Structure 1
Amino acid sequence: MIILAATPIGNLGDASRRLVEALANAEVIAAEDTRTASSLLRALGVDNRPRMIALHEHNEVERAAELVELAREQDVLVLTDAGMPAISDPGFPLVQAAAAADVTVTAIPGPSAVLTALALSGLPTDRFTFEGFVPRKSRVPALSKLAREERTMVFFESPHRIAESLDDMATAFGGDRPAAVCRELTKLHEEIRRGPLAELAEWATGGVRGEIVVVVGGAAAASLDLPTAIAQVLALVEGGARLKEAATEVADATGLGRRELYEGALKERGR
């Protein structure tokens, strides 16, 4: 079978007994980075030298078939650098191929940056959506499509883009939208910074280090204020949409009038 194994997201003490046993007994490990996997075995005191196969974003589609066939004969333990395979990490094409080939897939659950950040954020946890990594390009148009999402949203982001991303989130969602920046989760310098997006964006300009998860509160049931909605229209236009289409999309999402959004956007563009 194929075994997806969650690894610590920072603190090695979070490694489960099942994970340690699986590593000790593994004959084949498919790893995002074989060096990282070897370091994990040493750090956990596991004296085992399994066959290591690289499984990363650049080869996972091509390697899936090979690993599925291998898993018909012996267990294949799948590891990523941190957290659960297939969740914003290599693994999904392999699981998909295994399911299609009727090869058993199971998991060893464990640490999750998504759930840890959500629980620590101080934002509603009863309903949430994981949006993965913040888009690198056309962020405001992409984020604007989530402006009316009422569930709490969880994003991954890198430290060198976090300031720009938070600023774009403030534009797309409104500067007063509550959020939390969670960095270095489970590590020595863990920090949870909570506040409105505009305030967090200003804080981040000073530089933020480490692995980062951003949690953003969902939209209130009421419509966005008109200036924020107009900013979303303009963001969609910047992303390639026609003004009329952008005004209609935001009107449908917010309940505001298409005409006032269209005319408001025209006025802003003329400044």
Structure 2
Amino acid sequence: MSITVYTSGLYFIPTPIGNLEDITIRALRLFSAADIIACEDTRVTGQLLKQYKITPKQLVKCHEHNEKSISVELCKAVQQGKIVCYCSDAGMPLMSDPGHILLQTAIEYKIVYTVLPGPSALLPALAMSGFSTESFTFLGFPPHKKGRKTFIDSLESYLNTIILYESPHRLLSLLEDLSTHKTLKNRKLYIVREISKKFEQGYFGLPIECLEILTSQGIKGEFVVVLSDCF
């Protein structure tokens, strides 16, 4: 098998969401070849690179506070023949994660870019739910405050499987909203936390049942909430 020689371009690289063994060989080779690795948090990505004995040539921050300014610098580096990689702290960049401004800048500058396949909480949660995978809607994180009620009410218009991300601080609030909603209270849920980690755990039930279980157990970890389809 021949080893790929990577050429100048911008590479969006998914990173493990829990188990570090979920990193791909291609991702590791690109990290090793990169002239610049841009990431959401240099401490988090630095630990991942250290685990695989990769010493970055240049490791820079690219997050919500500086993404607009540094995106131009990164795209210009690609124009100069550099290999630039971007990753968020965990999972697939651009999917409820930073990276959109960088990608839009890449399109504007007409540089070569690609997104590698790899780890994401979305599809494992959907597959584990046992609900229909023929048609589904991913809506990311519900609004924190403004627009939250409107968002919850809008969910009943989706008859297919729905996938949400939610933080541990707001999960019980989400379940309370679902359990008191006139129609959503009857839709079965699959809730999974800590996907790919040692304490991965899933819960099935109606919103009120899941609320009771998780209230008694305590809320820890990152959660994916899957609502069953109506077909």
TM-score, length-scaled by structure 2: 0.90
User: Residue 157 of structure 2: SS of its match in structure 1?
Assistant: coil
Displacement after TM superposition at 1:31 (Å) = 0.2
Which residue number corresponds to residue 174 of structure 1? 184
- 1:97 has 2:105 as partner: yes
The structure with the largest helix share of the pair is 1
Aligned: 1:2 with 2:13: no
Alignment match, 1:216: 227
For residue 185 of structure 2, give the secondary structure of its aligned residue in structure 1: coil
Q: State whether structure 2 residue 130 is matched by structure 1 residue 125.
A: no
Q: Which runs of 5+ in 2 are unaligned?
A: 1-8
Structure 1: 5+ residue stretches without partners: 221-271
Structure 1 counterpart of 2:29, from 16, 21, 24? 21
Deviations 1:137-157 (A, max 9, x none): 142321111212012111111
CA contact (8 A) 2:136 2:162 kept: yes
Question: Offset at 1:28?
Answer: 0.3
- The CA distance in 2 between the partners of 1:131 and 1:102, in whole Å, is 29
SS at match of 2:114: strand
What amino acid sits opposite 1:51 in the alignment? Q
Aligned residues: 219
CA distance in 2, matches of 1:161, 1:82: 20
In the alignment, which of 149, 152, 171 is matched to residue 143 of structure 1? 152
The root-mean-square deviation of aligned C-alpha atoms, in Å, is: 1.4
* Larger RCO (CA within 8 A; separation ≥ 6): 2
Partners of 1:49 and 1:91 in 2: how far apart?
Answer: 20
The counterpart of 2:70, out of the listed 53, 59, 63, is 63
| 1:79-114 C-alpha deviation (Å, 9 max, x unpaired) | 111111111111011111111221111122111100
Tell whether the 8 Å contact from 2:141 to 2:165 is kept in structure 1 after alignment.
Answer: yes
Instruction: Name the aligned partner's letter for residue 153 of structure 2.
Output: S
